[in-house]
Amino acid sequence: MKESHLYPGKAVNFVIGAKVVAGHFTDNVSELSAERTNWTPAYALEIDKKVDNLAGIYMGTNTRDELFKTTLLLNGSLGSMRKDLISLKTHIDVDFKGTPDYLIFLSDLGFKKSISSLTQSEFVALLTKCKSTLTPEYITKITAKGMNTALPQRIAANADVVISNNAKQERLKGTVKEATGKMVADLNDLYKEIIGICKLAAVHYKGNPDKKELFTFSKILSNIGDSRPAKKDEKAKAA
């Protein structure tokens, strides 16, 4: 009898998400050890190795290594770029809301939805739109009321890093076939362990939204593929 998968979405996205969680868990295990006696640095290393081993069997070690490296680079730049775009929109809100230029600027830059709640593909599309719009002449217009030109200049200059790494991640994901047979069962077991870590870590960081988000698995998956987080997990408000 064919075993159905417990993890949401595609296996390749789940494996990448599991690697992300394993990294966050390793970084925060000293704090999270208060939740369980077996949550030690050795256990964090064991989880990380388990993800690596399964990923190597599933997609091959070369693809795994390239995909994990690209994801690490991408995630490292996504956070700062999101903050910069939120800051840019906020400056435009403060400087131009209520003026004829306000809606024009929002449309030109692609600000149609809450930036914080965009999936990765939506965010990259927004970033691509911003990069094409933020010419030196356009920057002069939107900074006329006092915004530091360094902000839009930085967005335009750094956009290619995110766009390029996203394209590479998608290309690598496209080479991986969907999991079948025993691999589904093994990934299901990993999912149970990963989601257990996420649930307990979310409780531990209940009063710390930034840390809690590191273990909100639906949000992590939305930053990998096009799946949207469940409403109960959404914390982002309109920027």
- pTM value is 0.83
Neighbours of 105 (CB within 10 A): 21
Cα–Cα dist 91/6, whole Å: 43
Taking the CA of residue 16 as centre, how many other CA atoms within 13 Å lie in the half-sphere pointing to its CB? Answer: 30
- pLDDT the model gives residue 232: 38
Give CA angle at 166 (119, 79), nearest 5°. 60
- pLDDT the model gives residue 24: 97
Q: What is the full per-residue pLDDT of the chain (239 aa) written as tens digits?
A: 567 889 998 999 999 999 999 999 999 999 999 999 999 999 999 999 999 999 999 999 999 999 999 999 998 888 899 999 999 999 999 999 999 999 999 999 999 989 988 888 899 999 999 999 999 999 999 999 999 999 999 999 999 999 999 999 999 999 999 999 999 999 999 999 999 999 999 999 999 998 999 999 998 988 886 444 443 333 333 34
- pLDDT the model gives residue 3: 73
Closest CA to 158 of 91, 76, 102, 237: 76
- pLDDT the model gives residue 113: 87
Distance of CA 197 to CAs 119, 155, 184, 221, Å?
23, 35, 20, 15
Instruction: Report long-range pairs for 125-128 (Cβ below 8 Å, ≥24 apart).
Output: 126/85, 127/81, 127/85, 127/155, 127/159, 127/162, 127/163, 128/159, 128/163
Cα–Cα dist 220/225, whole Å: 9
Cα–Cα dist 15/183, whole Å: 12
